[in-house]
Amino acid sequence: MSIRVTNVQRMCFDDGPGIRTTVFLKGCSLHCPWCSNPENIRYEKQEYHSLSHKKGIYGRDYEPEELLEELLIDRKYWGTDGGVTFSGGEALLQAEGLEPVWKRLKKEGIHIAGETALFVPEKQVEIAEKYIDYFYVDVKLLDNKMCKDILGGDTAQYLKNVKKLAEDKADIHFRVPCSEEYVLDVENVRKLLAFFRNYSFYPIELFGIHDLGKAKYETLGQEMPEFHPVSMEMLEDFKVMLIQNGCKADVITI
Amino acid sequence: MNSEKELYENKKELLESYKLKRNVFCSQFGEYADKGMFEEAFHELCEHMEIKLNKDSFVYFLDFGYQFDTSIQNITPDYRIILCSGIRQLLYDNGELENDFCRRYNSVLLDILKLTERIGKELESQKPENDTEKIIWFENIAEKPAESFREALQRILFLNQLLWQTGSKLVGLGRLDKLLYPYYEQDLLCGMITEGQAVSAVKEFLTVLHQHYWFKSAALMGDTGQVIVLGGLEQENEYSYNDLTYLFLRLVEELGLSDPKLVLRVSRHMPQKLMCAAVDCMKTGNGSPLLSNDDVIIPCLEGFGIVKTDAYKYATSACWEPLVAGKSSAMNNQTGLAYLKALKNLLVEERLDKIETFERFREKYLFHLKYEVRECLNNLKHQKYKRNTVYSIFIEGCRENKKDIVDGGALYHNIGMTTVGLGNTVNSLLNIKKLVFETKEYSLVDVKRMSILNFEGCEEIVERLKDSEIRYGKDDAEAMELTNEILRFVTEQTKDFHTATGGRVKFGVSSPAYIMDASRNEASFDGRRKGEPLTVHISNENATSYTEIMNFAAGLDYAGNRFNGNVVDLIVNPSFMERHKDNFAVLLLRGIEAGFFQLQTNVISSETLIQAKAAPEKFSGLIVRVWGFSAYFVELPESYQNLLIRRALQNEGKTA
């Protein structure tokens, strides 16, 4: 089974411990309005026009061996702490196709991280947790109606998957993309606090959503939706609230 | 405008006026200097030069009225000689004075002694700060080795001053952490100085060397060659460093001066903590330290025939060229090979319609390259050097051989040749392969026409070539193979060459000529128009990660005589560095293991550079890395400023 990838990015320092190579997989089960990787939302290949009017295609199908070969070029820089991160889009949506790649990396003793929103069927979580050493799990909108309307996801499925990962003792690191309008909305904050109280054992990284994806929207002939950048003060306030609720939270820059 | 810049720009006139003033009371000097009578001129210098003392902790002065003409430069003396012995102990016995070299050697040493006596007397009469200590230092220097840390620093400065004063340029400082550590340790142990006092002394030492950088600058402002080498393998698997290694890094980081510059010898066996300290220094953007990878360089030096124990003692000359400090007269930059010239000659001189395959084209390229190499060797063969006897006293081999440096007296007297435009050539050849021989969209005649017409009327191909992947500097197997083939070919053509004194030639891919030679090279088939800068060392701003460039550098074959400076040149965004300092240090350590040869950084943003160009008065302290040295951005010619801005923009993914 081939794997649909938009980019293999080498020398990443933000996607897990150490020095890593990150694979951006095409296709997502959500469509977050603040998404900074719009080229990874749809699974279908998409034509783009770069700012210098160069045409290209987002999305390339790799056979597992081919992807492995490209990944392993930078193996010597990973050491024991670094490795490969699978991001997206939704990394777990292609779990079946990725399984041979993960299996091989695992066999070679390479550290594997996955960035997921967990809005995927349980079966895919089961495959992933056999191999992934380090999960970044997004926490976004927890009200089912809001989540469905704005992101297109079912919170019941999400919560079930989080529970499963936690029960199976996966190494979870929560990531919360914060914006005034959405995630830090008063109602959602209340739900987030309740959620995190159940998972206070795991570290939480808060970050403000940014408009760095703007140029990518333009290459697709789209406009990036407008939103208010969240202030550092708001992020810090939320962090303090989380800490006061017994959680381990930190503000990061991406 | 910065006053140092004004001084440098008016250097010629200024020095002329100093000469005229000097002529009033010492007219003979000019005559001797003009006739190349070094010793006579040196005698006049020591008798009459103005001794300037000030409040600094150390004595260091230059008299611009006395200007020597020597070609002995770009090397590092053996400071150990002046540290471990009194000057009188260096004299030849009278019985040996029939030998011309010995006579000249002794006369210079006696004049140095005379100068130290004059300095002593001036100290007694002027009584500047710490005069008692300074008087003792200048008394001791006649008969005794240096006895304390501060005295050792003073001796190094004194010899350094003499070399600059006698016209040598790009005077290296050698591996000072190792050289100075015994004095430092002993003084601390016996309570002669406190750690704080040692820090102040090194700080003043660095500040003194920074003074007069306008005078010391050679081809560009900041091109002083004042390189301090730190750390390094002592023997296989044993990396050596000490408190002074950290101290030099920390002080250069704090002082924020363009001079002196640091080279850190690195190895897979070095501690991560030291690399983190190096990254802290780099992070300030001052361009120091350049990293020089012992794991790659030492085997190359040994392979070239340098004795193992000497190979472990290497330093670099002004920028990056490895040489055995204190034992080599390896004058570099004596001639330059332009890779693109051979390509131009091929296009002009061959029947292009008869070349049917890329293999044939590549062979033709190498054939034309052979003639370019020959021309360079011819230049080297006929080089004549003007001596500086002071240097011959402080380079190992000359005393033993009773021979001046210019006559091949140094233990090693190999010679360095620079090369430029390899990246442009490799990229052009790969584009020709693809577009002429594979897709057959253009003929070689088209390529020739485009080059001659500087792409006039065919703008679309420039865009296409510029847009196409730039493969030199990426881990692209074909680009690496072609690069290695060309490099090995140059070795083949140069390996049997010997200079008049028996030295051999060495070269590398780093070059100071990427702008100077730009206008001399026609437009090239990598989309570069005539006059646009050539590739800077091993760099590629289109690479998506530094690992691509490091892998490329690690894949090059530096054996044979190809070790004369091969620097990966990285532009690093300051905010990236701020966020990822620790990981960047780890990345460098892994790059060392992978096997890059050398690496230097410009930690700078396009925004700062653009602002500095527009309002230089607000950015007088902004340091950047050009060639292989650190310099003040606002003091560089506009072409260098523009290139840095362009590269910074590309590095940030912005259109230049």
| Tens-digit pLDDT profile for residues B191-237 | 999 999 999 999 999 999 999 999 999 989 999 999 999 999 998 88
Chain B residues with CB-CB distance to A13 below 8 A: 579-580, 583-584
Q: Are A161 and A114 in contact (CB under 8 A)?
A: no
Say which of A11, A51, A253 has its CB closest to residue B545: A11
Mean pLDDT value across residues A211-237: 89
Is the pTM for the entire model greater than 0.90? yes
Mutate to test the interface with B, among A6, A15, A74, A216 (most CBs of B within 10 A): A74
Helices (H), B144-239: 149-165, 176-189, 195-210, 213-216
Each residue's pLDDT tens digit, B96-148: 999 999 999 999 999 999 999 999 999 999 988 788 999 999 999 999 999 99
Residue B315, pLDDT score: 95
B40 to A165, B29, B32, B76: CA distances (angstroms)? 86, 8, 6, 24
Pairs of CB atoms within 8 A across A/B? 43
Residue B318, pLDDT score: 83
Q: How confident is the model at residue B353 (pLDDT cuts 50, 70, 90)?
A: very high
**Chain A residue at shortest CA distance from B463:** A52
Q: How confident is the model at residue B278 (pLDDT cuts 50, 70, 90)?
A: very high
**Chain B residue at shortest CA distance from A18:** B583
Residue B581, pLDDT score: 95
Q: What kind and span of H or E run contains B255? A: helix B243-255
Name the DSSP class of B415.
Answer: E
Mean pLDDT value across residues B427-432: 96
Query: B655 and chain A: CB distance < 8 Å anywhere?
Result: yes
B162 to B75, B82, B165, B325, B407: CA distances (angstroms)? 14, 12, 5, 18, 21
Per the structure block, which two tokens stand in for B47?
């008798």
Query: B464 and chain A: CB distance < 8 Å anywhere?
Result: no
pLDDT higher than 60, residue B656:
no
pLDDT higher than 90, residue A90:
yes
Interface contact flag, A19 B467, Cβ < 8 Å? no
Residue A228, pLDDT score: 80
Q: Taking the alpha carbons of B111, B115, B121, B124 in that order, is the dihedral positive or negative? A: negative
Supply the mean pLDDT for chain B. 94
Residue A188, pLDDT score: 95
Q: A55 has which bridge partners?
A: A49
Q: Are B190 and B91 in contact (CB under 8 A)?
A: no
Query: B527 and chain A: CB distance < 8 Å anywhere?
Result: no
Per the structure block, which two tokens stand in for A191?
């739900």
Complex prediction ipTM: 0.91
Residue A178, pLDDT score: 95
pLDDT higher than 50, residue B1:
no
| Long-range Cβ contacts of B97-106 (<8 Å, 24+ apart) | B99/B402, B101/B392, B101/B398, B101/B402, B101/B403, B101/B404, B101/B407, B101/B409, B102/B402, B104/B38, B104/B39, B104/B389, B104/B404, B105/B389, B105/B392, B105/B393, B105/B398, B105/B399
Residue B324, pLDDT score: 95
Query: A69 and chain B: CB distance < 8 Å anywhere?
Result: no
Each residue's pLDDT tens digit, B620-646: 999 999 999 999 999 999 999 999 999
Sequential DSSP letters for A87-142: ESS-GGGGHHHHHHHHHHHHHTT-EEEEEE---S-HHHHHHHHHH-SEEEEE----
Say which of B475, B584, B655 has its CB closest to residue A73: B475
pLDDT higher than 90, residue A51:
no
Alpha-carbon distance B252 to B410, whole Å? 32
Give A 78-107 residues with CB within 8 A of chain B.
78-79
- Which of B519, B542, B530 is closest to B647 using CA atoms? B542
Q: Are B388 and B38 in contact (CB under 8 A)?
A: yes
Contacts of A108 (CB under 8 A, 6+ apart): none
Alpha-carbon distance B158 to A128, whole Å? 68
Interface contact flag, B583 A18, Cβ < 8 Å? yes
Mean pLDDT value across residues B8-18: 90
Q: How confident is the model at residue B459 (pLDDT cuts 50, 70, 90)?
A: confident
Query: B547 and chain A: CB distance < 8 Å anywhere?
Result: yes
Each residue's pLDDT tens digit, A152-188: 999 999 999 999 999 999 999 999 999 988 999 999 9
Each residue's pLDDT tens digit, B282-291: 999 999 999 9
Each residue's pLDDT tens digit, B599-626: 999 999 999 999 999 999 999 999 999 9
Alpha-carbon distance B154 to B140, whole Å? 12
pLDDT higher than 60, residue B26:
yes
Chain B residues with CB-CB distance to A23 below 8 A: none
**Chain B residue at shortest CA distance from A11:** B545
Q: A7 has which bridge partners?
A: A24
Rg (CA), chain A: 18
Query: B345 and chain A: CB distance < 8 Å anywhere?
Result: no
Alpha-carbon distance B280 to B306, whole Å? 34
Q: Peptide bond preceding B303: is omega within 30 degrees of 0, i.e. cis? A: no
Burial A240-252 (b: 16+ CB within 10 A, else e): eebeeeebebebe
Residue B2, pLDDT score: 52
Each residue's pLDDT tens digit, B467-526: 777 789 999 999 999 999 999 999 999 999 999 889 999 999 988 889 988 888 889 999
Q: Are B558 and B296 in contact (CB under 8 A)?
A: yes
Alpha-carbon distance B237 to B229, whole Å? 19
Interface contact flag, A79 B586, Cβ < 8 Å? yes
Q: Are A85 and A114 in contact (CB under 8 A)?
A: yes
Helices (H), B433-525: 444-452, 459-467, 477-494
Alpha-carbon distance A230 to A237, whole Å? 11
Chain B residues with CB-CB distance to A79 below 8 A: 586, 590
Q: Taking the alpha carbons of B94, B96, B100, B106 in that order, is the dihedral positive or negative? A: negative
Query: B516 and chain A: CB distance < 8 Å anywhere?
Result: no
Q: Which class for A5: exposed (0-12), middle (13-18), buried (19 or more C-beta within 10 A)? A: buried
∠ Cα B223 B225 B227 (to 5°):
130
